[in-house]
Amino acid sequence: MKQAFFTRCLFFLTGILLLSLGITLTIKGQIFGVGSWDVLHIGLVKTLGLTIGTWSILIGLAIIAFDIVVTKKFPLPGTFIDMFLAGIFIDIFNYLLPDIDGFWMQLLSYVCGLLLLGWGCGMYMVANLGIGPRDSLMLLMVHKLGWSVTRSRTTMEVTVALIGFLLGGPIGVGTVLMAFGLGPIVQFALTFNEKLFLRWTGVKSAVV
């Protein structure tokens, strides 16, 4: 039992670190545009100030409130831990990592960020300790509408990107790529990490 809980914590924290680093790397590869949620966050930063990480937390709180209203259930503590840690780590990584110049270096930064973001999402969700607000919204669509993770994630990403663009957030080819490409990466990461988690603990995660 202790080993299973330790493994859950390992998956959870490692996944949050990876997705936060991934988000920051896509922001550093800004020549290609940023992810849908960061289009919204950056648009809000330009409009109202604060930091990307701060807006990530505030939007997360709004999503949690919506989720509670729809499901009539209070989220697990891990949902709040994920939300605050991700926002904090994004600001820390954004401060520590230097800005990247040059087409190819920004391309490398963006691609690595996209892969890390998708993999981190799939990894921490498998821990089943409570998922972040955005992923809880995605799974709410999966359960309520009967959609796949890929369809739910893609629909959510496209909608958020359009709202962010109207607020002045940057959109580029990378935004489109993330909107349609992140869902399959998360789906693959979920499947892989669920098998890995089962092998390590003997317990099925049953996230989706």
**Over the stretch 18-55, which tens digit does the pLDDT of each residue have?**
999 999 998 887 778 788 888 899 899 988 989 999 99
pLDDT in tens, 100-110: 888 888 889 88
CA distance 202 to 138: 27
Instruction: Give percent of the chain with pLDDT exceeding 70.
Output: 95
pLDDT for 204 equals 67
Residue 155: other Cβ atoms inside 10 A: 16
What pLDDT is attached to residue 85? 92
Phi-psi region of 81 (alpha: psi -120 to 50; beta: other; left: phi over 0): alpha
**What CA–CA distances, in Å, run from 163 to 77, 143, 170?**
29, 24, 11
Taking CB atoms within 8 Å and a gap of at least 24, the contacts of 204-207 are 205/126, 205/127, 205/128, 206/128, 207/125, 207/126, 207/128, 207/131, 207/139
pLDDT of residue 84: 92
- The closest alpha carbon to 138, from 25, 37, 39, belongs to 37
Residue 8 tokens read as 């859950």
User: Across the chain, what does the average pLDDT equal?
Assistant: 84
CA dihedral sign, ordered 146, 86, 80, 190: positive
pLDDT tens column, 62-85 = 988 888 888 778 887 888 888 899
Domain ranges in the chain? 1-207
Closest CA to 16 of 163, 101, 134, 97: 134
Q: What is the pLDDT of residue 90?
A: 93
- More confident: 75 or 14: 14
Q: Which helix (H) or strand (E) holds 132?
A: none
| pLDDT number for residue 125 | 82
User: What pLDDT shows up at residue 14?
Assistant: 92
pLDDT of residue 3 exceeding 70, the answer is no
pLDDT at 17 over 90: yes
**What do you get for the CA distance between the two ends of the chain, in Å?**
22
pLDDT in tens, 122-180: 888 888 777 778 877 887 888 778 787 778 877 887 888 888 889 888 888 888 887 77
Average pLDDT over residues 3-7: 75
The phi, psi pair for 172, rounded to 5°, reads: -145, -170
Encoded tokens for 111: 């691609």
d(CA 82, CA 60): 10
- The answer, yes or no, to whether residue 95 has pLDDT greater than 80, is yes
Please give the Cα distance from 208 to 102 (Å, whole number): 40
Give the pLDDT confidence score for residue 91 in this predicted structure: 93
| pTM: predicted TM-score of the whole model, two decimal places | 0.82
54 in Cβ contact with 123 (< 8 Å): no
64 vs 161: CA distance, rounded Å: 20
pLDDT score of 203 = 66
**3-state SS assignment for residue 148:** coil
What pLDDT score was predicted for residue 103? 86
